[in-house]
Amino acid sequence: MTTEENIINAAKEVFVRKGFQGAKMQEIANEAGINKALLHYYFRSKEKLFEQIFSGAFQQLIPALSKKLDEITDIESFIRFFVPFYVDFIQKNPHLPQFVLHELSQNPDRIRSLAANQGFPLSKLSVMIDRAVAEKKIRPIETHSLVINILGLIIFPIIARPMIEGVIFNQNTKSYQNFMAKRSDEVVETILNSIKPQSN
């Protein structure tokens, strides 16, 4: 592992855990097992180092998603694919959403450096939804709403973990984990139910 990769890994760890303000250059240096000056030698400033980490935060996800989206043509299949896929990704990177959301709320302009900008293929989804609505397989719903509903149901319990574990599960970590283990199925069921055509 090169020094540069080493630094990137350490910085990713610290930035995601502490946020931009909370992360200290010394701590990143410690985490990487190197001198603080070396950090500045490789990435002139904290800001530049951060940009590097941050703009890469998404790229892992989008490609795999886009690819799969070409094979799938109906909305139910998409949901059944996407939800477990995304739940899995997020559970492997549980601090990532809170990190991204926090930094974005501190400095909304950073959105421009976010690869996801080019990214999320909403139009393909819209087509699927429109057709399903036309065929009366689902109730009418805006694409935005459906996407945001799905993301919210998945992301919220992750970023609100301390609150949920504390307030809803009375500090019982096991209960929370048990809840999360079933979360993917629960979200799929909730979403599919929520878009079923109205029977009255």
Partner DNA sequence: AAATGGTTTAACCATTTAGTTAAACTAATA
Partner DNA sequence: TATTAGTTTAACTAAATGGTTAAACCATTT
What residues make contact with DNA under the rule CB under 7 A?
Answer: 3, 23-26, 34-38, 40-41, 44-47
What is the Cβ-side half-sphere exposure of residue 138, based on CA atoms within 13 angstroms? 20
Query: Least distance to DNA from the beta carbon of 55, Å?
Result: 17
Beta carbon nearer to its own copies, 5 or 196: 196
* Residue 151 contact, options its own copies, DNA, none, Cβ 5-8 Å cut-off depending on partner type: its own copies
Chain position carrying tokens 């069921």: 189
Give the separation between CA 57 and CA 145, rounded to whole angstroms.
Answer: 24
Pick what 11 binds: DNA, its own copies, none; C-beta below 5 to 8 Å, kind-dependent.
none
Alpha-carbon gap, residue 197 to 200, rounded angstroms: 9
144 CB-near residues (< 8 Å, 6+ apart): 122
Residues in contact with its own copies, shown as a per-residue x/- string from 14 to 53 under the rule CB under 8 A: ----xx-xx-------------------------------
Is 156 a binder of its own copies (CB under 8 A)? yes
Least distance between its own copies and beta carbon 174 (Å): 13
Q: Minimum distance from CB of 1 to its own copies (Å)? A: 29
What, of its own copies, DNA, none, does residue 132 touch, CB below 5 to 8 Å by kind? none
Neighbours of 78 (CB within 10 A): 19
- Which CB, 36 or 137, lies closer to DNA? 36
Asked whether the beta carbons of 78 and 191 are under 8 A apart, the reply is: no
Number of H helices, E strands in the chain: 13, 0
Query: And the tokens for 17?
Result: 């855990």
Query: Would you tell me how many other CB atoms lie within 10 Å of the CB of residue 159?
Result: 19
Q: How would you classify residue 171: left for phi > 0, otherwise alpha for psi between -120 and 50, otherwise beta?
A: left
Tokens of 118: 């080019």
Task: Single out the residue of 11, 75, 155, 188 in contact with its own copies (rule: CB under 8 A).
Answer: 155
Q: Residue 111, interface with its own copies (CB under 8 A)?
A: yes
Q: How many CB atoms lie within 10 A of CB 89?
A: 15
Q: Which CB sits closer to its own copies, 2 or 199?
A: 199
Which residues of the shown chain bind its own copies in the complex (CB under 8 A)? 18-19, 21-22, 95, 98, 100-102, 104-106, 108, 111-112, 114, 116-117, 119-120, 122, 139, 142, 144-145, 147-149, 151-153, 155-157, 159-169, 179, 186, 190-191, 193-196, 198-199
